[in-house]
Amino acid sequence: MSIPHTASAPVDVRGMRVTEHRFSVPLDHRRPDSEQITVFAREYSDPEISGDLPWLLYLQGGPGGKGTRLTQFGGWTKAASRRFRILMLDQRGTGLSTPANRQTLAARGDAASQAEYLTHFRADSIIRDAELIRTALGSGPWSIYGQSYGGFCALTYLSFAPEGLREVLITGGLAPLTGPADRVYSATFARVAARNKEYFAKYPGDRDITTRIARHLEEVPEHLPDGERLSVRRFQMAGSFLGGNTRMDALHHLLEEAFVSTPSGERLSDTFLTGVWHLVDRSANPLYALMHESIYGQGEATNWAAWRVLSAYPQFQPDAPEPLYTGEMVYPWYFDEDPALRPLKETAQILAAKSDWPALYDAGQLARNTVPAAAAVYTDDIYVDRGLSLETAAAVKGLRVWETADFHHDGISDDGEAIFNRLLGMVRSGEP
């Protein structure tokens, strides 16, 4: 199937040649002649390298994250640009692709109609978009690089369209192929608790200040820049910092400016409140909250799995004597406390209760996989559990694994060039 495709004139920006692409794809790939949406992608290449380089499709984390906006090559993109033309995809619903948020979803009708529309925004649709885009670009089988949720998409790609793939690289993104979402959170809550312990061992003074902030928020109304009152449980979302190496230190820097003396007593500073707001506000990526648990949904309802599993971990409760920071989990109360999500509360509930999600992976196809593939598994990853990752790796024929404790979930932000080169070498058996 050919699809409409337009491309901008290339522009050279700080050692990069940048071209913008827009593609028209079916909303529902089962009905290719029905409603169409736009998918945007930005091509980055090195103008100094001659020849027609092959394509590398980058599938970013999420769900609900747009393609990385580069200002210059660096990290893994510096390494990749020597061998590839890099295509940064704005996955459907994000960035410059046809958007899906509280403003646009209102035009779909009631909550049931909105939820039905969003069923077409999971990995199965994303990889079918990618296949149409590949053929529209005139590419043969191409290389893909999946980070975090992008790795989940890569496994879906290997399951349903392996003929489109030359090789697959994955970092921090080996999804469980079977089982309820509950086991994901049972594993990751334990890892987040351990990461809290590690953090407070490194910054022991932050244990007291964290508890102090929690008790203060219970007694004194503090408001984020958007006017919403900051709750303890929303403050605990600052634990998203714990998913990285250097990002963990950023949590300490946030906390060190928490309190300020005012004529009315001790209050949380504007600096601190703004920093927390940037962490917890979902106006820029509402699909993350709406679709997060659906990435584990296969044939059964997720039913707010993280919220249910949380009951087994009292140390994460806001009123715990020394409450811990939470991770990337999504809870139903997000849709009460975030104004960007509040209009979508009923839609989110319908998605959480959906029990007929189609399969995202084909275990049989993965067991006979022939596409060269390599994955970095981070031993202490608090978002994608090591044990579940290795279970998946064993189920994909020929998948080579590099496990390391040197990085956390955002390893490619720390030493992306070395990680990319290592994985590429693994799939190419040492090819320089």
Co-location of 335 and 384 in the same domain? no
Co-location of 186 and 172 in the same domain? no
Co-location of 54 and 150 in the same domain? yes
Share of the chain above pLDDT 90, in %: 96
Co-location of 310 and 220 in the same domain? yes
User: Could you tell me if residue 372 is inside a domain?
Assistant: yes
CB atoms within 10 A of CB 240: 19
CATH number of the domain enclosing 53: 3.40.50.1820
Domain that holds residue 305: 181-353
Lowest mean pLDDT among 45-54, 123-132, 395-404: 45-54
Co-location of 228 and 155 in the same domain? no
Tell me 53's DSSP state: P
Q: How far apart are CA 363 and CA 365, in angstroms?
A: 6
246: CB partners within 8 A, 6+ apart: 413, 414
Q: Are residues 153 and 122 in contact, defined by beta-carbon separation less than 8 angstroms? A: no
Q: Are residues 146 and 170 in contact, defined by beta-carbon separation less than 8 angstroms? A: yes
CB atoms within 10 A of CB 358: 10
pLDDT at 13: 96
User: Could you tell me if residue 331 is inside a domain?
Assistant: yes
Pick the catalytic residue: 12, 33, 52, 356? 356
Give yes or no: 408 in active site. no
Tell which of 353, 378, 409 closes a domain: 353
Co-location of 190 and 330 in the same domain? yes
Determine which helix (DSSP H) or strand (DSSP E) holds 292, and give its type and residue range: none
Co-location of 416 and 342 in the same domain? no
- Radius of gyration for the chain, computed over Cα atoms and rounded to the nearest angstrom: 22
Instruction: Indicate if the pLDDT at residue 430 is higher than 90.
Output: no
End-to-end CA distance of the chain: 36
CB atoms within 10 A of CB 219: 7
Q: How many residues does the chain have?
A: 432
Q: How far apart are CA 232 and CA 214, in angstroms?
A: 5
pLDDT at 429: 82
Tell which of 322, 353, 384 closes a domain: 353
Determine which helix (DSSP H) or strand (DSSP E) holds 56, and give its type and residue range: strand 55-59
CB atoms within 10 A of CB 417: 16
Q: Are residues 158 and 396 in contact, defined by beta-carbon separation less than 8 angstroms? A: yes
Co-location of 58 and 169 in the same domain? yes
Tell which of 297, 330, 353 closes a domain: 353
Share of the chain above pLDDT 70, in %: 99
Instruction: Indicate if the pLDDT at residue 74 is higher than 60.
Output: yes
Q: How far apart are CA 318 and CA 235, in angstroms?
A: 9
From the list 108, 36, 71, 17, the residue with the least C-alpha distance to 343 is 108
User: Could you tell me if residue 432 is inside a domain?
Assistant: no
Give yes or no: 97 in active site. no
How many angstroms separate the most distant Cα atoms in the chain?
A: 69
pLDDT tens, position by position, 327-371: 889 999 999 999 999 999 999 999 999 999 999 999 999 999 999
Q: What does the pLDDT average to over 195-224?
A: 98
253: CB partners within 8 A, 6+ apart: none
Give yes or no: 362 in active site. no
User: Could you tell me if residue 58 is inside a domain?
Assistant: yes
CA distances from residue 98 to 41, 42, 157, 423 in whole angstroms, order as listed: 12, 15, 22, 33
Co-location of 140 and 95 in the same domain? yes
Co-location of 328 and 192 in the same domain? yes
Instruction: Indicate if the pLDDT at residue 432 is higher than 50.
Output: no
Instruction: Indicate if the pLDDT at residue 17 is higher than 90.
Output: yes
Instruction: Indicate if the pLDDT at residue 219 is higher than 80.
Output: yes
* Count of domains observed in the chain: 2
52: CB partners within 8 A, 6+ apart: none
pLDDT at 90: 98
Q: What does the pLDDT average to over 28-52?
A: 94
User: Which phi and psi angles does 190 have, rounded to 5°?
Assistant: -65, -40
Pick the catalytic residue: 90, 206, 409, 410? 409
Co-location of 272 and 421 in the same domain? no
Percentages helix, strand, coil for the chain (3-state, rounded to 5) are 45, 15, 40
Co-location of 18 and 104 in the same domain? yes
User: Which phi and psi angles does 399 have, rounded to 5°?
Assistant: -70, 120
pLDDT tens, position by position, 361-415: 999 999 999 999 999 999 999 999 999 999 999 999 999 999 999 999 999 999 9
CA distances from residue 277 to 211, 213, 241, 254, 342 in whole angstroms, order as listed: 19, 15, 13, 12, 16
Q: How far apart are CA 382 and CA 191, in angstroms?
A: 5
pLDDT at 244: 85
User: Could you tell me if residue 273 is inside a domain?
Assistant: yes
Q: Are residues 257 and 271 in contact, defined by beta-carbon separation less than 8 angstroms? A: yes
User: Could you tell me if residue 404 is inside a domain?
Assistant: yes
pLDDT at 328: 85
pLDDT at 431: 47
Residue type, 330: V
Pick the catalytic residue: 97, 148, 159, 294? 148
Q: How far apart are CA 160 and CA 85, in angstroms?
A: 24
Q: Are residues 90 and 67 in contact, defined by beta-carbon separation less than 8 angstroms? A: yes
From the centroid of its chain, how far is CA 301?
21
From the centroid of its chain, how far is CA 210?
26
User: Could you tell me if residue 381 is inside a domain?
Assistant: yes
With cut-offs at 50, 70 and 90, classify the pLDDT of residue 122.
very high
